[in-house]
């Protein structure tokens, strides 16, 4: 059943985008378009936007419930124009959409299905934008997010009206954050829907900085700090505004100093009103100019990966999970697999002990789960090897029971392997210090998300130090078939030992320059110390085992080492081999010499 949907679009000099927008709305959206109404409000465009809209509305009016086109004689700004046109509609849901967006197939149906299946507590659903996905954090299990972009936002009308729509004090940029936070102040949730794909062509090139967007965003940032933040947040915002004003050498603000003056004047004029306009029922976080901690990879081209997968036959990926029966954590991990945008996945779940999770397959009907209990505890490596032996996919990926994957993890790693024709790809990860209740397996407390090991692959570094968390790596099954699985002697560092053996056989490992997963580490200092001692012991044991293998150093590896020494000599050690210091370089050489001597039997 298709609910009644009002698609609300504000245009401003948007002529060049409109034809493709209409085409995407009418091709394979998977909904009854006679339940969909289109509302356009033009903000005094200077091109032929209105003429184009009039022609397209005439051509397509029979396909939709209705198409309304209005124009204003001055630019009201995004939020004010949206409020004006949304009040003319009556659909159960409002799809707020930018004119420079093209919907992928069934994007509208996917959003509508999610909305109909959600409880009344969920107010809004954000579609996933490509080629550049907004890198803010979301919960990989519940898919909740702190705020949603207004470029492609599906909203429950009753919720939108409850908070009285967009704030008309915000002309452009950041009004979607304010709307999201006012919804959350009402106890409502906002969710991310990565399966609903829209192509948003807002940037002409990677890392592009738009002066107007930059100034508009910083202006709203100060306003929201005043409305929702602490006095410290407000002072920090004023400090950042003054920083823009004084940094005259930045091209992005070279012609915008007057706008910053206007921002400060507006602040002093309206600060008292902004401060009173929020009850601050919830605490909202500010990270500089961002409204949430972000993931690495703001301008990583995820769209290229999606196009790459479209050219292949979607090979099966086996996700391998070892567990000691911690049911709550296992369910969270499985849910993060169910939420993957890539669907040809099987989950091999191995319980290292008696069967306590039998039947868990029935809880996740959308995912093929192969469950096996080993009967008694045999150790992490034996359980991992059992998972490897049972896997039927062409590519493998490990997921420990307390770790999680962001929704495009498998999609982007697999696309990289296929596009680059390599056998190993890995993504960047968050490390999260956590306290897990031993009785309930629930997460009691989480520390600050830390982006670790965000680095290009360097074999010379890797043979000294593991920078690939186990859930960050996707590899082709042929490497397992040739190298075997985990070494049962290794209680820890078994994954590093496996990766190094793979790297001796097949290089390069290609990094996906984006945070696509997270893993947990103990938060308490006592556990951390004990864990560190074990890691050091098993690291040395793994090194001793690796020293018996052929080194297989390539010319490119030696070039890395040479470049590292050259940078160290020129006092640029911080740029050498991704933050190598001279001392680390000497340690690396010493280790390689020892490996060579042990291999040759020279003492």
Q: In this structure, is the dihedral angle defined by the CA atoms of residues 180, 184, 188 and 190, taken in order, positive or negative?
A: positive
Which residues constitute the domain of residue 433? 302-532
Question: Average pLDDT, stretch 106-120?
Answer: 96
The CATH number of the domain holding residue 444 is 3.90.550.10
253 vs 46: which has the higher pLDDT: 46
Tell me: the pLDDT tens digits for 518-555? 999 888 767 677 878 888 899 889 988 888 887 666 65
Q: What is the pLDDT of residue 248?
A: 52
Q: Tell me the pairing of strands 189-200 and 122-130.
A: parallel
The tens digit of pLDDT for each residue in 585-598 reads 556 555 655 555 55
As a whole number of angstroms, the distance between CA 346 and CA 567 comes to: 46
211-228 vs 231-246: helix crossing angle, rounded to 10: 160
Higher pLDDT, 379 or 581: 379
Tell whether 29 is covered by a domain: yes
* Mean pLDDT of all residues in 139-144: 97
Domain tally for the chain?
A: 4
The verdict on residue 27 lying in a domain is yes
DSSP H helices, 196-341, are 211-228, 231-246, 257-276, 302-310, 327-338
> What is the average per-residue pLDDT within 374-391?
96
Tokens of 535: 């890691």
**Same structural domain for residues 394 and 342?**
yes
> Among the three residues 500, 532, 564, which one is the final residue of a domain in this structure?
532
- The domain boundary, picked from 489, 517, 532, lies at 532
Q: Check: CB of residue 379 under 8 Å from CB of residue 438.
A: no
Q: Do 328 and 432 belong together in one domain?
A: yes
Q: 540 preceded by cis ω (within 30°)?
A: no
Same domain, 357 and 499: yes
pTM: 0.89
- Measured over the CA atoms of residue 30, residue 31, residue 34 and residue 40, the dihedral's sign is negative
The yes-or-no verdict on residue 419 having pLDDT over 90 is yes
| Confidence at 576, pLDDT banded by 50, 70, 90 | very low
Q: So what's the pLDDT on residue 573?
A: 40
363-371 contacts at long range (C-beta below 8 A, 24 or more positions apart): 363/331, 364/334, 364/335, 364/338, 366/338, 367/334, 367/337, 367/338, 369/334, 370/346
Please indicate, yes or no, whether residues 379 and 403 belong to a single structural domain of this protein. yes
Alpha-carbon span 429 to 452, nearest angstrom:
6
- Same domain (yes/no): 515, 427: yes
């Amino acid at each position: 059943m298709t609910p009644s949907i009002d698609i609300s679009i504000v245009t401003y000099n948007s002529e060049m985008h409109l034809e493709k927008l209409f085409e995407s709305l009418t091709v394979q959206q998977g909904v009854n378009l006679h339940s969909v109404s289109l509302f356009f409000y033009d903000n005094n465009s200077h091109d032929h936007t209105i003429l184009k809209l009039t022609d397209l509305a005439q051509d397509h009016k029979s396909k939709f419930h209705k198409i309304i086109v209005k124009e204003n004689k001055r630019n009201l700004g995004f939020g004010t124009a949206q409020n004006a046109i949304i009040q003319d509609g009556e659909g159960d849901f409002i799809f707020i959409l930018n004119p420079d967006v093209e919907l992928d197939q069934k994007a509208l149906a996917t959003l509508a299905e999610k909305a109909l299946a959600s409880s009344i507590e969920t107010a809004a659903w954000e579609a996933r934008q490509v080629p550049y996905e907004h890198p803010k954090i979301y919960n990989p299990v519940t898919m909740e997010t702190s705020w949603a972009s207004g470029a492609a936002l599906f909203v429950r009308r009753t919720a939108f009206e409850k908070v009285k729509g967009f704030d008309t004090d915000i002309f452009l940029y950041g009004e979607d954050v304010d709307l999201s936070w006012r919804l959350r102040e009402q106890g409502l949730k906002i969710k991310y829907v990565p399966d609903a794909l829209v192509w948003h062509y807002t940037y002409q090139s990677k890392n592009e900085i738009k002066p107007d967007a930059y100034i508009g965003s910083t202006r709203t940032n100060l306003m929201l700090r005043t409305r929702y933040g602490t006095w410290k947040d407000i002072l920090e915002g004023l400090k950042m505004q003054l920083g823009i004003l004084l940094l005259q050498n930045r091209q992005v603000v070279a012609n915008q100093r007057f706008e910053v003056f206007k921002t400060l004047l507006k602040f002093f004029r309206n600060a008292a009103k902004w401060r009173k306009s929020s009850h601050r029922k919830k605490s909202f976080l500010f990270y500089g100019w961002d409204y949430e901690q972000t993931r690495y990879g703001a301008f990583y081209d995820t769209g290229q990966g999606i196009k790459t997968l479209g050219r292949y036959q979607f090979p099966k990926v086996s996700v391998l999970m070892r567990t000691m029966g911690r049911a709550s954590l296992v369910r969270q991990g499985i849910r993060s697999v169910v939420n993957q945008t890539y669907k040809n996945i099987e989950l091999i779940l191995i319980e290292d002990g008696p069967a306590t999770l039998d039947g868990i397959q029935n809880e996740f009907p959308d995912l093929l789960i192969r469950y096996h209990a080993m009967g008694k505890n045999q150790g992490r490596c034996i359980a991992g090897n059992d998972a490897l032996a049972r896997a039927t996919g062409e590519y493998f990926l490990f997921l420990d029971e307390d770790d999680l994957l962001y929704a495009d993890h498998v999609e982007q790693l697999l696309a990289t392997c296929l596009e680059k024709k390599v056998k190993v790809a890995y993504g960047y990860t968050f490390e999260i210090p956590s306290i897990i209740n031993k009785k309930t397996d629930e997460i009691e407390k989480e520390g600050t998300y830390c982006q670790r090991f965000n680095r290009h692959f360097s074999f010379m570094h890797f043979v000294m130090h593991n920078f690939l968390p186990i859930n960050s790596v996707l590899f082709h099954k042929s490497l397992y078939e040739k190298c075997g699985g985990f070494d049962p002697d290794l209680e820890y560092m078994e994954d590093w030992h496996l990766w190094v053996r793979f790297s001796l056989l097949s290089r390069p490992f290609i990094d996906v320059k984006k945070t696509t997963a997270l893993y947990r580490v103990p938060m308490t200092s006592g556990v951390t110390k004990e864990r560190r001692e074990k890691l050091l012991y098993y690291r040395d044991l793994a090194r001793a085992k690796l020293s018996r293998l052929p080194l297989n150093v390539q010319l490119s590896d030696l070039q890395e080492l040479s470049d590292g020494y050259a940078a160290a000599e020129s006092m640029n050690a911080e740029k050498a081999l991704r933050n190598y210091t001279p001392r680390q370089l000497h340690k690396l050489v010493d280790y390689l010499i020892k490996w060579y001597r042990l291999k040759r039997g020279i003492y």
